[in-house]
């Protein structure tokens, strides 16, 4: 708790410093604009500088207004014994009754208790959310495994994660307000950043090693002398795609936990459960997509070998 307060205080001071820096730059530019225009016409300089200043002020204040006009986020009950727990479940159930996906699936909202109905509803949403997660994780795997471009891969993964969280949020909550989506992005990023990458590497290695042995053993690459470099490139590509795919799966799992929890929870527990869930789903993504990467490299190697053998005869 103390660490979180310290981080928030640091971020607050950094934000204030950036805002002050922006205001100083804006003021300097407005003064330069006024000085330049005053050589032509003093009234024109006053009018245009005032309009420019008001425009900059509107650009600064509009996001704050849009953010704070939304209602404050509702705190989750601490436990089942919390006096607000049942009332919170009733409000959550009313929101779920307006959920577009549940309505399209003809979900039955009848039941003995709000808790039981909510649990069934979130199971249905979880199944659909898992499909979205796997589809996006597969796309991330193939894109980053084939691309092998650090900057481009980073931008691709970032865009995919932002899209994934937004898609899951709209699945669970239809149209979340700006305060809600900002909160989710911040919380998910905080949980993901403290994930233990060393353990992730071990988990990925355990799944990739037998898979790559079986895949490479049945391709033309395995019979080409001196093809160790190609094999290394393939393994590196699959590992790169697997790491990014695991990240996407973890982000999706964490997002779904945040969207479906009805009580206060421990972030460390969510991180552990999300890592386990992501690792389980990674196996199917690897088995489905790694073979495509291997085949593409194998075909490229085969074509390159044919071309290399044909060229000397053509030259002769």
Q: Is residue 25 part of a domain?
A: yes
**62 with 142, same domain?**
no
CA distance 225 to 93: 64
**36 with 180, same domain?**
no
**25 with 145, same domain?**
no
**180 with 268, same domain?**
yes
CB 138 within 8 A of CB 285: yes
Q: What is the arithmetic mean of pLDDT over 161-178? A: 86
**162 with 60, same domain?**
no
Give how far Cα 19 sits from Cα of 12, 24, 66, 243, Å: 11, 9, 18, 36
**185 with 300, same domain?**
yes
Per-residue pLDDT at 48 exceeds 50: yes
**274 with 141, same domain?**
yes
**62 with 180, same domain?**
no
Q: Is residue 129 part of a domain?
A: no
Tokens encoding 262: 């009805």
**174 with 278, same domain?**
yes
Residue with more model confidence, 290 or 276: 276
Tokens encoding 82: 């919390």
How many structural domains compose the chain? 2
**44 with 191, same domain?**
no
Domain that holds residue 60: 2-68
Q: Is residue 190 part of a domain?
A: yes
Q: Is the pTM higher than 0.85? A: no
Q: Is residue 91 part of a domain?
A: no
Q: Is residue 295 part of a domain?
A: yes
CB 137 within 8 A of CB 248: yes
Tens digit of each residue's pLDDT (9 = 90 or more) over 125-146: 999 999 999 999 998 888 887 7
**38 with 174, same domain?**
no
CA distance 311 to 98: 67
Q: Is residue 12 part of a domain?
A: yes
Domain boundary residue, one of 45, 68, 91:
68
Give how far Cα 175 sits from Cα of 33, 103, 206, Å: 42, 15, 40
CA distance 141 to 136: 9
CA distance 63 to 67: 6
Per-residue pLDDT at 219 exceeds 50: no
Mean predicted lDDT score pLDDT of the chain = 75
Instruction: Please measure the distance between the N-terminal and C-terminal CA atoms of the chain and give it in whole angstroms.
Output: 77
- Residue 221 carries which DSSP code? G
Domain boundary residue, one of 48, 68, 88:
68
Q: Is residue 124 part of a domain?
A: no
**141 with 290, same domain?**
yes
């Amino acid at each position: 708790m103390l660490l979180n307060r310290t981080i928030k205080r640091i971020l607050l001071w950094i934000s204030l410093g950036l805002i002050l820096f922006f205001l100083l730059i804006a003021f300097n530019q407005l003064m330069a604009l006024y000085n330049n225009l005053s050589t032509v016409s003093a009234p024109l300089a006053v009018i245009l500088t005032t309009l420019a200043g008001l425009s900059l002020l509107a650009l600064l204040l509009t996001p704050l207004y849009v953010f704070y006009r939304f209602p404050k986020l509702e705190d989750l009950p601490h436990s089942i014994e919390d006096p607000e727990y049942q009332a919170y479940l009733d409000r959550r159930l009313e929101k779920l009754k307006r959920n577009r996906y549940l309505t399209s699936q003809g979900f039955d909202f009848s039941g003995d208790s709000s808790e039981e109905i909510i649990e069934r509803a979130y199971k249905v949403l979880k199944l659909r959310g898992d499909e979205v997660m796997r589809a996006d994780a597969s796309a991330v795997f193939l894109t980053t495994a084939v691309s092998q471009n650090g900057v481009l891969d980073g931008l691709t993964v970032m865009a995919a994660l932002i899209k994934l969280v937004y898609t899951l949020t709209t699945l669970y909550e239809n149209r979340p307000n700006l305060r809600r989506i900002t909160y989710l992005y911040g919380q998910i990023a905080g949980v993901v950043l403290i994930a233990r990458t060393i353990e992730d590497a071990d988990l990925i290695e355990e799944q990739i090693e037998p898979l790559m042995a079986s895949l490479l053993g049945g391709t033309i690459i395995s019979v080409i002398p001196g093809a160790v470099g190609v094999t290394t490139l393939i393994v590196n590509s699959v590992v790169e795609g697997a790491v990014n795919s695991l990240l996407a799966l973890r982000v999706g799992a964490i997002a779904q936990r945040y969207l479906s929890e009805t009580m206060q929870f421990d972030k460390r527990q969510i991180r552990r459960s999300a890592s386990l869930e992501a690792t389980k789903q990674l196996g199917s993504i690897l088995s489905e997509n790694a073979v495509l990467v291997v085949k593409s490299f194998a075909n490229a190697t085969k074509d390159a070998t044919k071309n290399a053998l044909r060229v000397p005869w053509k030259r002769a």
